[in-house]
Amino acid sequence: MRALIVDDERLARLELRRLLAAHPEVEIVGEARDGTEALELIRKSSPDLLFLDIQMPGMTGFELLELLDDVPQVIFTTAYDQYAIQAFEVNALDYLMKPVATARLAAALARVRPRSETPRLEQVFVRDGDRCWILRLPEIFLLESEGNYTRLYFGDERPLIRRSLNALEAQLDPAVFFRADRKQILNLKWIEKVEVAVSGGLLVTLRGGRTVEMSRRQSNRLREILSL
Amino acid sequence: MVNQSQRSWNIVSRRRAAALLAVLLWPGGVPRAASPLPNVRKSIEDAFSTVSGLSRLPDDRVSTLLVGGKPLTGPPDDFSRRRTGAEILQSGITSGPGDNAIALLHLLDKQGFETRFIDAVRISTKSLEDAAEGCAFVAVLDPQNNQWVLADPARSVYIWPFDLSSKTVYQNCWIGFRGPIADYPVHDPASLTKFYRDTLKTVPMDYLNHHLFRFQFTVDSSLIGPDGKYRNPHLEQFLGDNGNFLNSRGIRPVNEIPVRLVAGGPNGVFSVDESDRGWVYTVGQESTWGWWIVDVLEDRLNRNLEENRSIHAIVPKAPSAAFWTGAGILCALLLGVLVWQRRRLAVQPSTLAYWGCQLLGWGGLLMLTILAVLNQPGSDTGGIVYGSVYCLLGVALTGLLRREIRRRRWLSGPTWPMVAAVPVFGTVHAGAAETYSVVVHAMGKGLGQNPGDALKTWAVTLAFWTVWTVLYVLLTGPRRHREAEVRLQLALREAELRALEAQINPHFLFNCLNSIRALVAENPAQSQDMLTRLANILRYNLRRDVEHTVPLHSEVEIVSDYLALESARFEDRLRVHISIDPDAAPVPVPPMLLQTLVENALKHGIAPRAEGGDLSVRAAIVGDSMMMEVENPGEIAETDPTTTPLGLANIRERLRILYNGRASFELKNRDGHVAATVLIPMTA
């Protein structure tokens, strides 16, 4: 497992490196002193795991994540920001309080999932005002274009992210995400019901009740995929 | 009013025979006396004789007499005040007491005396109700001792000496004219009636109250027939009318006279008897009932008063000393219970003191009013009710003023609202009291005092309000001062505690602990040093028995420890420069003030910069102040005191309270740096 340590304090990085020495499965591919350095290292070595401090000069940990297309798995390390972290959907990440207890570090590492073989987008970092999510893609049932932004639908949330629908489409697994029309991409695994609309196109109802009407051309493609 | 000592008279009617002789001998009157003037007493007595020799015009007949040289025919009243003294004496016939006085005056004039004609209106129920009646007198100057003598031809009495300026003659004659007969404005019966009516209007209510009587009639069973009704049907109406007349004019006599009505003989003869148990009016079965009864009684009463005899009146009694003692003890007991049970009543001592003062002040004023009213009979319950209304208004309005003072904090601000409030409230008070007075008087309820001098009421009320306000300010002064002091101390203590609590910055603490743990392996000596410094900071932070100030050098020690710890974290990103003038080191400063500034500088000036920067701490004496300055790289928007961060607002507040506005705090941009500067005065 390839890991990157991001912290502005040398002594903090030193201490974390010392603690990780007890975990041979973790290979430390680099250390970054701030967000700018981290961005560079992530693009260069694409680590599986980030140990990320939140308060850093120049750029906070959250701001760094927003700049990433593909978010690696993240373990936050912080002195006193647990309240900020608890605002997250915890399923996607863990956090460690400094000074870090060894048992706590082991538990966090145990939750890290092995990386899949295909280099597909697995999770995105989403921030909407004060609320943030590290979101695993299967949870998204609909993506909707709003100019250069894209609105994500998952659970009861519908935050806007700063990426275009076309850019996202290139990174999505075509077996799961289907382009319904110019503006919408839907998650095939969330389809509950398909009907033929008056216009001849298909009317798809997703789990949760949301309906999407498809163009005639895309309807034909969907019929092929679903072998209707 | 006629003084008792001035009242001396002689009855000289026994010389009537001699007077008659004189008239026969000198039909033109007594001849003019040669200088020196004859003895005034003798002259008056001689004149009385002459005048009393005049015969009355028959009441029931029309007569013809010379008036101004022309014959006039009419009933006796037609001649009243029309003829000259010479004409009266010449005719030997008088139309009444007025003619007698004119004749008397003529006689004395002829002897060369200086005379004045005096005409007074009678104060009686009959005079007020029916026809104004008068009494005419002659005043003569005794040249031997330059004193005036009043001659009353109606009674053949002279009063010596007489004060020419007195308003009254006897008990019941109010003077309307005094002067030479030539100036006398009356020339015929019509103008006489008008003169008397006008004079009556000038009589003060107080005088009427003291010289008219309220008769309390009780009817003896002898006047009541077997059917339970009065034997004389007019009696019922008479009794009903009695008293209404006085009430309708707002007259409240001081003296109440109990009179028992008893049946006499079958004819119209009546008699008045006085006994120790009151008056007994014996009335004939066929008597008519009317004002003349009251008139007879009043006449008798006035004579009694003139002769200083008892009038057997029921005089309203002022409450005795026992009553006041009892009332005082009761009030004291009530007050005692209030003080004793104040906790149960949840009354604060200040509230109790306030109401005590209100009770003492307004209650005392009311007591004085009641006493004054009772000591001045005639103005009865009306004055007391008015006093109560006035005092209650006072309590209510001063209560309102007190509420406003407390709510709007007038006493801790400028003085003008208080100065303005006194005349405003005073005017409202006086106005309300006067309005009450006027309204109640108009309603004729007799429950207010007569609308008096509004200006006087206003002035007196303003005086009361001034006294009240001065007392309020003086009495509440020490308490307000104490409260303000305590409030300031509390605010300071609170600000200090907030400053301390804010300093145990958990982010700093845990990062620091993490750094030390890393150092334990890498540099054990440095880690030990850091732990010591951390302990120092924690000790300083955890103490709660803070002084308001500490010497600057103690504060600098903590700041040094803090910066050393942060240097270990920030390493080469933080460069610290501390420069403390030795003269400044012992200067007392508020604790945690410099520390807050340094922490602020680190948080906003160093931590956000990847390259870090220089942090300078300086302290020096500048003039009569000590200057502390913390400088860090960066730039801030020009400071607006309302939007400064909490820590800085706290610094401002503490400086303001501790140094009463003489200390200053500034946050300024300076050549790419931000400088926080505090100036602390060193003089007390």
Would the pLDDT of B6 be above 80?
Answer: no
Helix crossing, B381-408 with B454-503: angle to 10°? 30
CA angle B629/B632/B638 to nearest 5° reads 80
Most confident range, picked from A2-16, B212-226, B479-493, B638-652: A2-16
Subunit contact B610:A9, Cβ cutoff 8 A: no
Q: What is the pLDDT of residues A206-223, one digit of tens each?
A: 888 888 888 888 888 888
Least confident of A15-29, A91-105, B440-454, B532-546: B440-454
Distance CA B170, CA B307 (A): 10
Mutation target for B interface from A5, A7, A9: give the one with most B CBs within 10 A.
A9
CA angle B181/B183/B189 to nearest 5° reads 75
Give the whole-number percent of chain A exceeding pLDDT 90.
26
Residues of chain A neighbouring B517 (CB-CB closer than 8 A): 15, 99
DSSP annotation of B434 reads: H
Subunit contact B511:A18, Cβ cutoff 8 A: no
Which residues are CB-contacts of A101 (< 8 A; sequence separation ≥ 6)?
Answer: none
Subunit contact B570:A97, Cβ cutoff 8 A: no
Q: What residues form DSSP beta bridges with A204?
A: A194, A212
Tell me which residue of B39, B9, B25, B45 sits closest to B113, measured CA to CA.
B39
More confident residue, B30 or A48: A48
Would the pLDDT of A38 be above 90?
Answer: yes
Q: How far is B634 from chain A (nearest CA, A)?
A: 13
Give the 3-state secondary structure of residue B128. helix
Sign of CA dihedral B357, B362, B365, B370: negative
Would the pLDDT of B576 be above 90?
Answer: yes
Closest partner residue to B511 (CB to CB) among A34, A57, A79 is A79
Please report which confidence band the pLDDT of residue B677 belongs to, taking 50, 70 and 90 as the band edges: very high
* A-contacting residues in B 514-533 (Cβ below 8 Å): 514-515, 517-519, 521-522
Most confident range, picked from B104-108, B421-425, B675-679: B675-679
Residues of chain B neighbouring A14 (CB-CB closer than 8 A): 518, 522
Instruction: Please give the sequence-ordered ranges of beta strands (E in DSSP) within B147-263, or none if there are none.
Output: 147-152, 157-162, 168-169, 173-179, 213-219, 255-263
Give buried/exposed letters for A123-155 (b at 16+ CB in 10 A, else e). bbbbbeeeebbbbbbebbbbbbbeeeebebbbe
Q: What is the pLDDT of residues A168-204, one digit of tens each?
A: 888 888 888 998 888 899 998 899 888 888 887 888 8
- Nearest residue on chain A to B568, judged by CA atoms? A11
B568 contact A CB<8A: yes
Which residues are CB-contacts of B294 (< 8 A; sequence separation ≥ 6)?
Answer: B125, B126, B215, B242
Average pLDDT over every residue of B477-492: 81
Subunit contact B515:A57, Cβ cutoff 8 A: no
ipTM > 0.90 for the complex? no
Give the 3-state secondary structure of residue A213. strand
pLDDT at B2: 39
Q: What is the pLDDT of residues B259-268, one digit of tens each?
A: 888 887 777 6
More confident residue, B247 or B676: B676
Token reading at B66: 């010379």
- The dihedral region occupied by B412, where left means phi > 0, alpha psi between -120 and 50, and beta the remainder, is alpha
Would the pLDDT of B95 be above 90?
Answer: no
B569 contact A CB<8A: yes
The A2-6 sheet, strands edge to edge: A27-32, A2-6, A49-53, A73-78, A93-97
**Residues B62/B166, Cβ–Cβ less than 8 Å:** no
**Is there a cis peptide before residue B506, judged by omega within 30 degrees of 0?**
no
Mutation target for A interface from B511, B530, B572: give the one with most A CBs within 10 A.
B511
Token reading at A61: 């940990």
pLDDT at B21: 43
Distance CA B66, CA B132 (A): 26
**Residues B552/B626, Cβ–Cβ less than 8 Å:** yes
Would the pLDDT of B29 be above 50?
Answer: no
Tell me which residue of B73, B308, B80 sits closest to B188, measured CA to CA.
B80
Distance CA A47, CA A5 (A): 10
Please report which confidence band the pLDDT of residue A119 belongs to, taking 50, 70 and 90 as the band edges: low
Give the 3-state secondary structure of residue B4. coil
Q: What residues form DSSP beta bridges with B158?
A: B151
DSSP annotation of A87 reads: T
Residue with tokens 């604060």: B348
pLDDT at B19: 47
Token reading at B309: 């005899």
Q: What is the pLDDT of residues B350-386, one digit of tens each?
A: 777 788 888 888 888 888 888 877 766 554 566 778 8
Q: What is the pLDDT of residues A122-147, one digit of tens each?
A: 788 888 777 788 888 888 999 999 98
DSSP annotation of B221 reads: G
Least confident of A77-86, B107-116, B296-305, B611-620: A77-86
pLDDT at B520: 92
Distance CA B258, CA B277 (A): 9
Q: What DSSP assignment string belongs to B548-582?
A: S-EEHHHHHHHHHHHHHHHHHHHGGGEEEEEEE-T
Give the 3-state secondary structure of residue A190. helix
Please report which confidence band the pLDDT of residue B288 belongs to, taking 50, 70 and 90 as the band edges: confident
Please report which confidence band the pLDDT of residue A57 belongs to, taking 50, 70 and 90 as the band edges: confident
Residue with tokens 């400044």: B584
Mutation target for A interface from B504, B508, B517, B604: give the one with most A CBs within 10 A.
B517
Report the mean per-residue pLDDT for chain B. Answer: 80
Residues present in chain A in total: 228
pLDDT at A13: 94
Subunit contact A79:B570, Cβ cutoff 8 A: no
Please report which confidence band the pLDDT of residue B254 belongs to, taking 50, 70 and 90 as the band edges: confident
Subunit contact A57:B608, Cβ cutoff 8 A: yes
Average pLDDT over every residue of B55-62: 80
Please report which confidence band the pLDDT of residue B561 belongs to, taking 50, 70 and 90 as the band edges: very high
Helix crossing, B506-522 with B552-570: angle to 10°? 60
pLDDT at A228: 57
Q: Where are the alpha helices (DSSP H) in B376-443?
A: 381-408, 416-443
Q: How far is A97 from chain B (nearest CA, A)?
A: 9
Average pLDDT over every residue of B423-433: 90
pLDDT at B27: 45
Largest CA distance in chain B: 160
Give buried/exposed letters for B317-328 (b at 16+ CB in 10 A, else e). eeeeeeeeeeee
The B115-122 sheet, strands edge to edge: B157-162, B147-152, B134-142, B115-122, B173-179, B168-169
Please report which confidence band the pLDDT of residue B236 belongs to, taking 50, 70 and 90 as the band edges: confident
Residues of chain A neighbouring B568 (CB-CB closer than 8 A): 11
pLDDT at A81: 66
Distance CA B493, CA B500 (A): 11
Average pLDDT over every residue of B576-587: 94
Please report which confidence band the pLDDT of residue B67 belongs to, taking 50, 70 and 90 as the band edges: confident
Q: How far is B662 from chain A (nearest CA, A)?
A: 38
Residues of chain A neighbouring B570 (CB-CB closer than 8 A): 9
pLDDT at B557: 92
Subunit contact B607:A99, Cβ cutoff 8 A: no
Burial class from Cβ neighbours inside 10 Å (0-12, 13-18, 19+) for residue B425 reads: buried
Instruction: Please give the sequence-ordered ranges of beta strands (E in DSSP) within B478-569, or none if there are none.
Output: 550-551
Report the mean per-residue pLDDT for chain A. Answer: 84
Residues of chain B neighbouring A55 (CB-CB closer than 8 A): 507, 607
Token reading at A171: 């990174």
Least confident of B135-144, B576-585, B621-630, B633-642: B633-642
Please report which confidence band the pLDDT of residue A85 belongs to, taking 50, 70 and 90 as the band edges: low
Least confident of B171-185, B291-305, B638-652: B638-652
Alpha-carbon distances of B599 from B125, B573, B628, B629, rounded to whole Å: 100, 15, 14, 13
Least confident of B160-174, B303-317, B555-569, B586-600: B303-317
Distance CA B635, CA B73 (A): 123
Subunit contact B514:A80, Cβ cutoff 8 A: no
Token reading at A120: 């597909």
Token reading at A126: 């989403």
Residue with tokens 């002594």: A11
- Nearest residue on chain B to A17, judged by CA atoms? B518
Give the 3-state secondary structure of residue B667. strand
- Nearest residue on chain A to B604, judged by CA atoms? A57
pLDDT at B585: 92
Would the pLDDT of A15 be above 90?
Answer: yes
Subunit contact A11:B518, Cβ cutoff 8 A: yes
Give the 3-state secondary structure of residue B430. helix
More confident residue, B647 or B344: B647
- Nearest residue on chain A to B569, judged by CA atoms? A9
Give buried/exposed letters for B131-157 (b at 16+ CB in 10 A, else e). ebbbbbbbbbbbeeeeebbbbbbeebb
Distance CA B47, CA B105 (A): 9
Which residues are CB-contacts of B386 (< 8 A; sequence separation ≥ 6)?
Answer: B433, B436, B437, B440, B447, B448, B449
Which residues are CB-contacts of B658 (< 8 A; sequence separation ≥ 6)?
Answer: B492, B548, B549, B590
Provide the number of CB pairs (under 8 Å) joining chain A to chain B: 62
Closest partner residue to A99 (CB to CB) among B506, B514, B569 is B514
pLDDT at B452: 56
Helix, strand, coil content of chain B in percent (nearest 5): 50, 20, 30
Give the whole-number percent of chain B exceeding pLDDT 90.
16
